[in-house]
Structure formats: C-alpha cells, structure tokens
C-alpha cells in the first residue's frame, strides 16, 4: 500500500498516511486527484479504479471516504477488508465512531492506524490485540513520567 | 499574547469559521501562539501545542517551524510527549529534511527502552520515514529485536526490517536467519510479519529465494492447512474465514516460491486445490482468498486440472452480481489471455455483456479483454458488439476503443469491403477521437482496393451529404470525390445503389465543406485540392472550378492561398500539364515510402501520409536540386507518389531542355541543366539582349538553400551587346549531397537565380 486517505463528502481531508516518501507537492497533488476521482462516483459502482500505475480502492462509510492506493501486486479485495477492519477498530475504540470523533481525536486515529498497519502492510491480524495495545498505551500516557533504564 | 486554547477548542473554533478568510485568521493567531510557546522552556502543554500544529498541517497550512519541536519532544522522557513527537516526526519530517537525522540518536535509545510501547514508537517511526543512513545505522539493533521474546516487539521489528530491506537491499542478508526462525512462531501477528519479510527478501535476491524454496515450502503448506481446516478462532475470524490476511500473504509467498520450479509447485498443488474448493465464496473475504489462490495457481507450474479449476473460478466470478468481483475476474483473465486463450474464449459471451454494464471501471476492463479476445473466427460478431459499444461508450474510453477496433479490423478483416465499412462506421460515430494517422491509412486502403472505388466513393458522398462535422471522415470523403469523381458521376455502381448526381451537385458538396465554419484548415485544403482534381474529371463546369480556385487566391489562410495561387497558375500558364499532374494516383507500393526523404524512411510503413498534400517535403533523392526549378507544382503532386512524379518530371525534361526563365525588357535568360552525378548538376545560364542599347556590367546572382552547394564559374563576358550580338554564358555548379527537397525556397529560386544587376 502506498497511501491511505480519509476525506469527507465535502472534500476535506481527515487523515493522511503515506507509506512511501513523498514530497509535499506530490502529496497535495495526489490528494486533489483522489478527491476528484472518488467523490463523483455513483453509489453502487465498482470500488476499484485505475490511476496512473496504482490501483485505487475506496469505500464510503457514512460521511467519510476511505481511499487506499495499492501497488500492482496487492490484492484489491483484501484491501477492502483492510479498510473494513480499520473502521471496526475505530468503532471499537471510540464506541460507535462518527466523523466528529475522528476530527477531534485525530491523533488517536493515527495511533490506532499505527497499531494496525506499518510500512503499508498489515501489522496485527487479530481484532482484539490492537485495542488491547491501545488501552495499555493510553494508560501509560496518563501515568506521570517514564524514566530511562 | 493571549493564551492558546486547548486542542479541541481550537478545532471547534476553526470549524465554526464561516469563510476561508475567517479560518485563515484563526489559524494565523493560533500558529503565532504556538510558535511563542515553542520558544518557551518546558511547560505542561507541549504535546497539546504540537498536536494543534499537526491539525493545522492536515488542513494544508505550512507547519515546518514545528520540526525542531518534534525533535525535542521525541527526546523527552514523558511518554505522552514522545507519542506526539513521533507522530509529528512521521507527518512533518521525511528523509529529505535535515532534521530527520537529528532523531536518529533518540530512536536508537528508544529501541532499547525498557518499556515496549516506547520501543514500538521508535520502530514505527523508523519504518515510516527512516532514510537509508538511518536504516544502515540501526539494522543490527532491529535484528536483535527480531530475536527478542516479546511477540509485540517481534512483529513490529519484522515489518521494520521489511522497510529496511526496501531501502537498502544489501541489508537483506542480515535478516535471513532470523526470518527463518520466525516461521515457527504461533502468534499470528509475528507470523504475518515473518511471511512479509521473507516475501520481500525472496523478491530481492534469487539466492535467498533458492534457500527459502528448499526449506520453507513444507512449513508454509503446513501453516496454511492449519488455517483452512482449523475450527473457529474468534480472534482472527472474519466472516467464517480464519485470518484471511495471513492466508493471502502465505499464498503470495507460495506463488513466488513455486514460480518456474516444478518441485515446489508440486508440493503446493494439493493445498491450493484444497483452498480453492473449501473457501466460502459468498462474502468478499472468501473471494479475496480465492482470488489470491487463482493468481497463484496460474503463475506456478500447476497441473492442468488445477489450472482448469482456477479458470472456472474466474468464470464464476464473472457471473457474480458484485461488480467488484467481476472487475477482479476480468483483470485476472487479462493476465492469462495470451497463455490460456481458449479457456478465456469460453467466457467471451459474459465478457461482451459486461461491455453494457453501467460502471465505467467494469466497462474499461471489458473493453480491454474484448479487444484481446478478437480472433479471425469471431471477428464479425465481436465487431458488431464493439461498434455498438463505441456509440454509447464514455468519452474517456472512445479513443482507446477506436484504435483497438482499427487494429482488430486491420488484422482480421474478412473482406476489404467489410474493412472499409467498419472504418467508415467508426469515423461516423467517433470521428473526433481517432488518431491522426487514420486518415492516410484509410486513404491508402481505399487506393489499394481498386475494385471498390465506385462503392467507396458513393458511400462517402452520401456520408458527406449527411454530416460534415467529423473532420477525418470529411477529409477522406473529399479526397475520394476528388480522385474518383468520374465514377460518381457515371451514375452506376455494382455494389451499392448509385446516386444520380450532376457535376454541380458534387461541386456544391465540396463548396459547402470549403465554406463551413466547422471545417479545419486541413479539411479545407483537402476540399480545394479535390475541387481542382475534378477539373480534369468533369466536362462542363471547369469554369466554375476556375472561379472557386481564384476566389481562394486571396484567402486569409496562407496555406489555402498558396494552393489556390498554384492551381490558378496551373490553369493559366501550365494548362498543358494539368491533365498529367492531376491524373489518378497510382497504387501505393508499400516499399516506395522508403525512398522518400531520408527522415521518413525510418518510420514504419504504416505511417504514410498519402493524402497530406500540404506538408510533404519534396522527395527527390535522384533528382538534383537544380532541376527543381521547374517544379513549382511540387505540392500538387504528393511526394510519396514517386512514380507519377518521375513521369511528370521526365515529361518536363523531355519537352524542355532549355527553359526560358526570364524575359523582360528585351533581356532573355535561359537555363540548361545537365546532371553530372548522383548529387551534382551543372546549370548553364545564357543571357542575350535584344534591345537597342548595350548592357554593361551584367552579373548574375544566385541563391540556394543552405544544404545545397553552389559554385559560380566566371561568366564568358560581362556585357551584353545590343540586338543579340553576343550571348553571355555562365556555368553554375550545384551540389545537393543531402538530396534534400526544396520547399518554399523552390518558388523563389527562379527569381533569385535571375536577379540581374543592370547598369
């Protein structure tokens, strides 16, 4: 996976994760292109698109579009499952997640993503393990000081 | 300075801004406050400030002043600050920034931290934005972590190692032993990471691939079997499939290991068959696994039964209601259409039906696959479907569809008439989207099909009457009417119903094209030339043609004006040559194109431009430059028609060895050309004076194009006595080594060669 974007129906970016080094200009261009490609799509059409040399997989959940850019050898159907799993993780963490949760707690959304994916690959395949890690990390954050060994 | 508000309040404030301007104002204020806070020493709200900056960054505003703060936060002992600091590093820093080097030390320290969550932050950041130097620096550390007893750390270290290998290929060697041992883990996360790492190592290095092939295939098969057969595991189950992510990755690794290797492929045959038959295909997740299985089966050296099973699965996918599945099926079939052509042909009907699907992605895939499936046996039915598709297809696919249809028609046309009909059909439906070389290709095809000239010109004439907006079609139609207008006027045709037209009707049609605002300059050029050609093919209305041509002599478009003037000249001074110049074009020999201008001979034969009368270089490799003096009509005669050109040329030479090029005020100048060699020519200029007075200091000057070499020998005398007492001769040697044609320069050569200074 090259990148993962979340944007709203009005084209506002809510989360961006880049798995390969990309310049700022390039990032802005990709975001613009993705928004232009995905937003006009009709409801029951195919979730896959071809864009330059990448396969684009997108899925709409309520008011948010989840959009991933895949490389040639990645499995598109599995990517749909990856997006779905991420939504499930967010849902479990926030409890009935909605777009506002992701807006106001964007750093938490990133932390959850970092527990689930790394370097564009799936890091943890278990549903529960990710949430357990998040809870523990949050507890650690509350505690006052962490000392060096 | 007002104290900056906490993160959530700031977000609320930004969101409530009603205009872009208001939003910018809020953000500017906040950024200023954040910058001030950064300059202060440690206070409790540092992580909040950085988080605010990251939010602003996500909205698209510049945030580079936060980079150093990220570096400071990462070095902080507090976990909360580290967390946000590393997040900031991943968002704001990339390997191109200098600041990224500064965090290398912090990462190194944190990798050996006692708390696994700190370690994981460092691993995550390294895997996200680690540069090549950082990777080289920290690789041994990562390898050590791969051997730790903590599964949480092991799985993260595995994917971090994947990033390192991608960045610095040579370091792959370092991780091979640890990767091997990781395959015996029970934890799915670690196992998954191990499989990804091994995949990456095998893809990069053939030796590593060999090593893993020998030892790991049985292990992988074992693990897969466990996943497929095992009972329900709540932790990893997705809609009845046990850990589909791991299954798919293992299948992909097996594919790489089994490629081009009989032994390995044999070992995995049973397993693949088992997965293919047992996986539940009602949900997307099951289909994802099946999809990967099919890809693997088709890529390794599987036995034929298994291959048939795989293609059948794809066939089932094609009939699935879910558009995604159909899309996937067509993508996969595209990959095997060249190797398993017959198997894919069996599903041609379904694929062609997908052409009619509403979805643009599905349509695109169906078009590609249909074009690949066209063969000699199904060309007629397929073409019918493709033409229907063309008339209703989305605009972005039209050019691709049109060119695909042309290619298919060219390769498999059952008859010439069918071929011409098909091309005409495409030009009428999608004329605006075809490529430029379609027009000359079609003209060449028509010229070479001499038995269908009558049919073709009738069809094109009818098409022209209906619609003149599609430029390629109009261009071809004009050209045909110009060439074969006599067949049209004859009023009889075997192949199709003949039209009864008069000469006026035909000229009317051409004039409409000439005057229409829809016609491009190229098209009008075609129409004018066609009108001119008709002057030799019709009998009554030559005057009308003459008047049309003279009107365009003052046209604003320079190209048209030039043509009109030349044609006018053809009517006036060179009327005796008109018939020869305008006679029917000969059949184009494919190899005659190689003889044209040096540049053109490199191009493939297909790229002929027979109809493009205007831009052709004059191609006369055998005809030295000097003789081009006669040829102000080079543009009339298309340069690729060498035969006709040569004939015309011979005519001229035969009939006029001496040409009078200047005759004014009693001074006469003639030229005699003699070819000396392949590229050399001597021109003898003879001047005589028939006036009553002597002319003294008579000199001749000549100008030639740059690539032609000119040598003027001394004249025999420098004065011309009256009453033609004596003649002045001067020899001019021309050398045209590049055998280049002369274009516009040509028209001025006569005058420049004869610029006479008279005292």
> What's the length of chain B?
759
Lowest mean pLDDT among B216-225, B528-537, B604-613: B604-613
* B143 has a pLDDT exceeding 60: yes
How close A16 comes to chain B (CA, Å)?
8
Task: Report the chain A residue with the minimal C-alpha distance to residue B79.
Answer: A141
- Is B453:B486 a contact under the CB 8 Å cutoff? no
Residues of chain B found within 8 Å of residue A137, distances taken between Cβ atoms: 83, 117
* B646 has a pLDDT exceeding 50: no
Tell me what pLDDT residue B759 has.
33
Contact B94 A22 (CB under 8 A): yes
Identity of the residue in B128, B155, B359 whose CB atom sits nearest the CB atom of A46 = B359
Tell me what pLDDT residue B376 has.
84
> What's the length of chain A?
149
User: Which has the closest alpha carbon to A5: A54, A45, A77, A46?
Assistant: A54
| Alpha-carbon gap, residue B163 to B127, rounded angstroms | 5
Q: How remote is the C-alpha of B336 from its chain's centroid?
A: 24
Q: What is the mean pLDDT of residues B600-609?
A: 32
What does the domain layout of chain B look like in residue ranges? Answer: 450-582, 659-738+753-758
Lowest mean pLDDT among A4-18, B20-34, B611-625: B611-625
Tell me what pLDDT residue B573 has.
81
Q: How confident is the model at residue B576 (pLDDT cuts 50, 70, 90)?
A: confident
Tell me what pLDDT residue B738 has.
62
Tell me what pLDDT residue B42 has.
65
B227-256 pLDDT, tens digit per residue, is: 888 767 788 888 888 889 999 999 999 999
B463-476 pLDDT, tens digit per residue, is: 888 887 888 888 88
B408-459 pLDDT, tens digit per residue, is: 888 888 888 888 888 888 888 877 777 777 778 888 888 887 778 888 888 8
Write down the pTM of the prediction. Answer: 0.72
Which residue reads 């996918």 in tokens? B317
Q: What is the mean pLDDT of residues B695-709?
A: 69
Mutation site, A18, A111, A121, interface B, largest B CB count within 10 A:
A121
Contact A148 B364 (CB under 8 A): no
Dig out the tokens for B206 from the structure.
């053939």
Share of chain B above pLDDT 90, in %: 10
- Is B175:B165 a contact under the CB 8 Å cutoff? yes
Query: Which segments of A20-91 are extended strands (E)?
Result: 48-51, 54-61, 64-70
Residues of chain A found within 8 Å of residue B46, distances taken between Cβ atoms: none
* B129 has a pLDDT exceeding 60: yes
* Plot region of A62 (φ>0 → left; ψ -120 to 50 → alpha; else → beta): left
How close B37 comes to chain A (CA, Å)?
20
If one compares A107 and B656, the residue with the highest pLDDT of the two is A107
The one-character DSSP state at B517 is: T
| Alpha-carbon gap, residue B245 to A81, rounded angstroms | 9
| Alpha-carbon gap, residue B131 to B96, rounded angstroms | 8
| Alpha-carbon gap, residue B488 to A22, rounded angstroms | 64
Q: What is the mean pLDDT of residues B725-752?
A: 56
Interface A-B: count of C-beta contacts within 8 A = 158
User: Which has the closest alpha carbon to B191: A125, A132, A97, A14?
Assistant: A125
B534-543 pLDDT, tens digit per residue, is: 888 877 778 8
Give chain A's domains with CATH numbers. 3-147 (3.30.450.60)
| Alpha-carbon gap, residue A128 to B188, rounded angstroms | 12
Contact A119 B162 (CB under 8 A): yes
Residues of chain A found within 8 Å of residue B77, distances taken between Cβ atoms: 145-148
Lowest mean pLDDT among A46-55, B40-49, B86-95, B632-641: B632-641
Identity of the residue in A78, A81, A118 whose CB atom sits nearest the CB atom of B156 = A118
B28-81 pLDDT, tens digit per residue, is: 988 888 888 888 766 667 788 888 888 888 888 888 888 888 888 888 888 888
Pairing mode, if any, of strands B755-757 and B699-701? antiparallel
Tell me what pLDDT residue B687 has.
77
* pLDDT, chain B, mean: 78
Task: Report the chain A residue with the minimal C-alpha distance to residue B9.
Answer: A104
Identity of the residue in B87, B162, B193 whose CB atom sits nearest the CB atom of A107 = B87
Q: How confident is the model at residue B590 (pLDDT cuts 50, 70, 90)?
A: low
Contact A76 B328 (CB under 8 A): yes
Report CA-CA distances (Å) from A97 to A61, A131, B239, B753.
11, 14, 21, 88
Q: What is the mean pLDDT of residues B650-658?
A: 42
Lowest mean pLDDT among A65-69, A105-109, B453-457, B604-608: B604-608
- Is B477:B531 a contact under the CB 8 Å cutoff? no
Q: What homologous superfamily is domain B659-738+753-758 in, according to CATH?
A: Gamma-adaptin ear (GAE) domain (2.60.40.1230)
Identity of the residue in A15, A47, A127 whose CB atom sits nearest the CB atom of B235 = A127
A101-141 pLDDT, tens digit per residue, is: 899 889 899 999 999 999 999 999 988 999 999 999 988 88
Mutation site, B59, B122, B327, interface A, largest A CB count within 10 A:
B327
If one compares B667 and B137, the residue with the highest pLDDT of the two is B137
Report CA-CA distances (Å) from B349 to B304, B353, B354, B385.
24, 6, 9, 10
User: Which has the closest alpha carbon to B152: B181, B118, B183?
Assistant: B118
Identity of the residue in B238, B327, B364 whose CB atom sits nearest the CB atom of A81 = B238
Task: Report the chain B residue with the minimal C-alpha distance to residue A106.
Answer: B55
Tell me what pLDDT residue B537 has.
80
Contact B324 A133 (CB under 8 A): no
Mutation site, A49, A60, A105, A107, interface B, largest B CB count within 10 A:
A107
* B641 has a pLDDT exceeding 70: no
| Alpha-carbon gap, residue B579 to B531, rounded angstroms | 14
Lowest mean pLDDT among A59-68, B432-441, B656-665, B736-745: B736-745
Residues of chain A found within 8 Å of residue B112, distances taken between Cβ atoms: 149
Residues of chain A found within 8 Å of residue B80, distances taken between Cβ atoms: 141
* B645 has a pLDDT exceeding 60: no
A79-94 pLDDT, tens digit per residue, is: 999 999 999 999 999 9
Query: Which segments of B582-690 are extended strands (E)?
Result: 658-664, 667-675, 680-689
Tell me what pLDDT residue A90 has.
93
Q: How confident is the model at residue B592 (pLDDT cuts 50, 70, 90)?
A: very low
Tell me what pLDDT residue B468 has.
79
B370-384 pLDDT, tens digit per residue, is: 888 888 888 888 888
B161-209 pLDDT, tens digit per residue, is: 999 999 998 888 899 999 988 988 888 999 999 999 999 999 998 998 9
Residues 6+ apart with CB under 8 A from A75: B248, B252, B288, B291, B292
Find the Cα–Cα–Cα–Cα dihedral B434, B437, B442, B443, rounded to 10°: 140
Dig out the tokens for B410 from the structure.
């060219």
**Sign, Cα dihedral of B674, B676, B680, B683:** negative
Contact B245 A114 (CB under 8 A): no
- Is A18:B90 a contact under the CB 8 Å cutoff? no
């Amino acid at each position: 996976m090259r990148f993962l974007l979340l944007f709203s129906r009005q084209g506002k970016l809510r989360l961006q994760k880049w798995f390969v080094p990309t310049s700022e200009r390039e990032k802005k261009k990709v975001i613009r292109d993705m928004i232009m490609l995905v937003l006009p799509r009709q409801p029951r059409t195919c979730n896959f698109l071809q864009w330059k040399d990448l396969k684009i997989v997108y899925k709409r959940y309520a008011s948010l579009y989840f959009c991933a850019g895949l490389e040639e050898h990645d499995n598109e159907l599995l990517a749909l499952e990856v997006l779905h799993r991420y939504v499930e993780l967010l849902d479990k963490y926030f409890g009935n997640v909605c777009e506002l949760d992701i807006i106001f707690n964007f750093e938490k959304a990133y932390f959850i993503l970092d527990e689930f994916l790394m370097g564009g690959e799936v890091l943890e395949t278990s549903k529960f393990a990710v949430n357990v890690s998040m809870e523990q990390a949050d507890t650690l954050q509350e505690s006052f000081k962490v000392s060096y060994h | 300075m007002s104290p900056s508000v906490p993160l959530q309040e700031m977000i609320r404030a930004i969101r409530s801004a009603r205009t872009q301007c208001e939003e910018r104002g809020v953000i500017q204020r906040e950024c200023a406050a954040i910058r001030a806070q950064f300059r202060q020493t440690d206070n409790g709200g540092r992580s909040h400030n950085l988080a605010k900056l990251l939010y602003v960054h996500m909205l698209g505003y510049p945030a580079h002043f936060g980079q150093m703060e990220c570096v400071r936060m990462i070095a902080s002992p507090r976990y909360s600050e580290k967390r946000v600091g590393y997040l900031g590093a991943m968002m704001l820093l990339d390997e191109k920034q200098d600041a990224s080097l500064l965090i290398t030390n912090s990462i190194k320290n944190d990798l050996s931290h006692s708390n696994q969550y700190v370690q994981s932050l460092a691993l995550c950041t390294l895997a996200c934005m680690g540069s090549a130097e950082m990777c080289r620096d920290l690789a041994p550390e990562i390898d050590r972590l791969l051997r730790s007893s903590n599964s949480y750390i092991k799985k993260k270290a595995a994917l971090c190692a994947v990033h390192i290998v991608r960045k610095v290929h040579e370091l792959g060697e370092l991780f091979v032993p640890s990767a091997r041992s990781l395959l015996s883990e029970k934890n799915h996360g670690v196992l998954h990471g191990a499989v990804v790492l091994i995949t990456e190592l095998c893809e990069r290095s053939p030796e590593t691939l060999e090593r893993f092939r020998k030892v790991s295939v049985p292990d992988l098969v074992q693990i897969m079997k466990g996943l497929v057969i095992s009972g329900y595991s709540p932790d990893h189950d997705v809609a009845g499939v046990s850990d589909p992510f791991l299954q798919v990755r293992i299948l992909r690794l097996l594919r790489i290991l089994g490629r081009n290797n009989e032994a390995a492929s044999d070992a995995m045959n049973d397993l693949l068959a088992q997965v293919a038959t047992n996986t539940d295909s009602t949900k997307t997740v099951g289909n994802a696994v099946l999809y990967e299985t099919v890809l693997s089966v088709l890529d390794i050296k599987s036995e034929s039964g298994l291959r048939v099973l795989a293609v059948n699965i794809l066939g089932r996918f094609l009939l699935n209601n879910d558009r995604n599945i159909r899309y996937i099926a067509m993508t996969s079939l595209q990959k095997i259409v060249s190797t398993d052509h017959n198997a894919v042909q069996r599903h041609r009907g379904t694929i062609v039906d997908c052409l009619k699907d509403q979805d643009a992605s599905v349509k695109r895939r169906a078009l590609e696959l249909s074009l690949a499936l066209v063969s000699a046996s199904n060309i007629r039915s397929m073409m019918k479907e493709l033409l229907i598709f063309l008339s209703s297809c989305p605009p972005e696919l039209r050019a691709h569809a049109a060119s695909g249809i042309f290619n298919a028609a060219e390769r498999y046309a059952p008859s010439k008439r069918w071929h011409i009909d098909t091309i005409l059909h495409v030009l009428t439906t999608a004329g605006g989207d075809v490529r430029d070389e379609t027009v000359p290709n079609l003209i060449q095809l028509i010229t070479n099909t001499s038995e269908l000239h009558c049919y073709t010109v009738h069809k094109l004439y009818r098409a022209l009457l209906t619609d003149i907006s599609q430029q390629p079609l109009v261009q071809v139609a004009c050209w045909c009417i110009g060439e074969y207008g006599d067949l049209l006027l004859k009023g009889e045709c075997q192949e199709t119903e003949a039209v009864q037209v008069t000469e006026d009707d035909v000229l009317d049609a051409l004039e409409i094209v000439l005057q229409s605002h829809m016609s491009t300059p190229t098209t009008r050029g075609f129409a004018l030339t066609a009108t001119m050609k008709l002057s030799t093919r019709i009998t009554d209305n030559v005057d009308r043609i003459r008047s049309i041509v003279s009107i365009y002599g003052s046209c604003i478009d320079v190209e048209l004006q030039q043509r009109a003037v030349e044609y006018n000249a053809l009517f006036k001074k060179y009327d005796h040559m008109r018939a020869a110049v305008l006679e029917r074009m000969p059949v184009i020999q494919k190899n005659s194109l190689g003889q044209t201008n040096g540049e053109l001979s490199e191009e493939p034969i297909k790229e002929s431009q027979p109809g493009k009368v205007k831009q052709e270089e004059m191609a006369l490799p055998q005809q030295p430059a000097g003789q081009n003096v006669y040829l102000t009509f080079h543009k009339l005669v298309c340069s690729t028609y060498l035969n006709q050109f040569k004939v015309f040329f011979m005519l001229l030479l035969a009939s006029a060895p001496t040409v009078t090029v200047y005759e004014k005020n009693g001074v006469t100048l003639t030229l005699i050309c003699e070819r000396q060699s392949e590229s050399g020519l001597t021109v003898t200029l003879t001047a005589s004076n028939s006036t009553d007075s002597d002319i003294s200091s008579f000199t001749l000057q000549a100008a030639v194009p740059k690539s032609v070499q000119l040598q003027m020998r001394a004249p025999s005398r420098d004065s011309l006595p009256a009453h033609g007492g004596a003649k002045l001769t001067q020899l001019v040697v021309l050398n045209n080594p590049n055998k280049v044609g002369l274009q516009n320069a040509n028209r001025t050569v006569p005058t420049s060669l004869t610029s006479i200074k008279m005292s």
